[in-house]
Structure 1
Amino acid sequence: MSTDAWSLFLLACLMLNIAPGPDLVFVFSRTMSHGKKIGFVASLGVGSGALVHVFAAAFGVSVILATSATAFVMVKYIGAAYLVSLGLKAIFSREGTILRNGTDTKQVNPWTVFRQGVLIDVLNPKVALFFLAFLPQFIAHDASQSSAQIFIQTVILGFIVIAVGFVVETALILTAAPLGAYLRSNPKIALWLDRSFGGMLVFLGAKLASSDQ
Structure 2
Amino acid sequence: MDHYYLFVITTLLITLTPGADTVLVTKNTLVQGKGVGFKTGGGVCAGITIHIAIAVLGLSAIIANSVLLFQIIKYAGATFLILMGIFTLFSKKPHLNSDTNTSEKTPKGSYFMQGMFSNVLNPKAIIFFMSFLPQFIVPDEHTLLQMIIIGITPVLITFIWLFFYVNLIHYIRVWFNQPSFISAFQRLTGFMLITLGVKLAFERR
TM-score normalized with structure 2 length: 0.91
Report the counterpart of residue 206 of structure 1 in structure 2: 198
2-side partners of 1:57 and 1:49: how far apart? 12
Please name the residue that 1:178 is paired with.
Answer: 171
Any residues of structure 2 matched to 1:1-213 within 5 Å, and which?
1=1, 5-93=3-91, 95-100=92-97, 103-104=100-101, 106-107=103-104, 108-141=106-139, 144-145=140-141, 149-183=142-176, 185-213=177-205
Q: Find the residue that maps to 2:109 and give its secondary structure.
A: helix
Structure 1 residue 192, shift from structure 2 partner: 2.0
The one-letter code matched in structure 2 to 1:153 is: Q
Aligned partner letter, 1:98: H
What percentage of aligned pairs have identical amino acids?
A: 32
Q: CA deviation at 1:202?
A: 0.8
Structure 2 gap ranges (5+): none
Deviation per residue, 1:34-84 (Å, 9 max, x gap): 111111111100110111111100111111222112211111001100110
Unaligned runs of 5+ in 1: none
Indicate the SS of the match to 1:110: coil
Report the secondary structure of 1:62's partner residue.
Answer: helix
The total of aligned residue pairs comes to 204
Distance 1:56 1:21 in 2: 21
- What is the CA-CA distance between 1:158 and the residue it aligns to? 1.9
Contact 2:35 2:99 (8 Å CA) reproduced:
no
Looking at structure 1, the residues matched to 156 and 102 of structure 2 have their Cα atoms a distance apart, in angstroms, of 33
Residue 134 of structure 1: how far off its partner (Å)? 0.7
Give the 3-state SS of the residue equivalent to 2:94 in structure 1: coil
Amino acid at match of 2:196: L
Q: Which amino acid aligns with 2:194?
A: V
* Secondary structure in structure 2 of the residue aligned to 1:40: helix
AA in 2 matched with 1:96: K
Q: By how many angstroms is 1:123 displaced?
A: 1.3
Residue 201 of structure 1: how far off its partner (Å): 0.9
Letter in 1 for 2:184: W
Partner Cα separation in structure 2 for residue 203 and residue 48 of structure 1: 24
- What secondary structure is seen at the aligned counterpart in 1 of 2:93? coil
Q: What is the CA distance between 1:17 and its match in structure 2?
A: 0.4
In the TM superposition, residue 105 of structure 1 has moved relative to its aligned partner by: 6.9
CA RMSD in angstroms comes to: 1.8
Q: Is the 8 A contact 1:55 1:155 kept in 2?
A: no
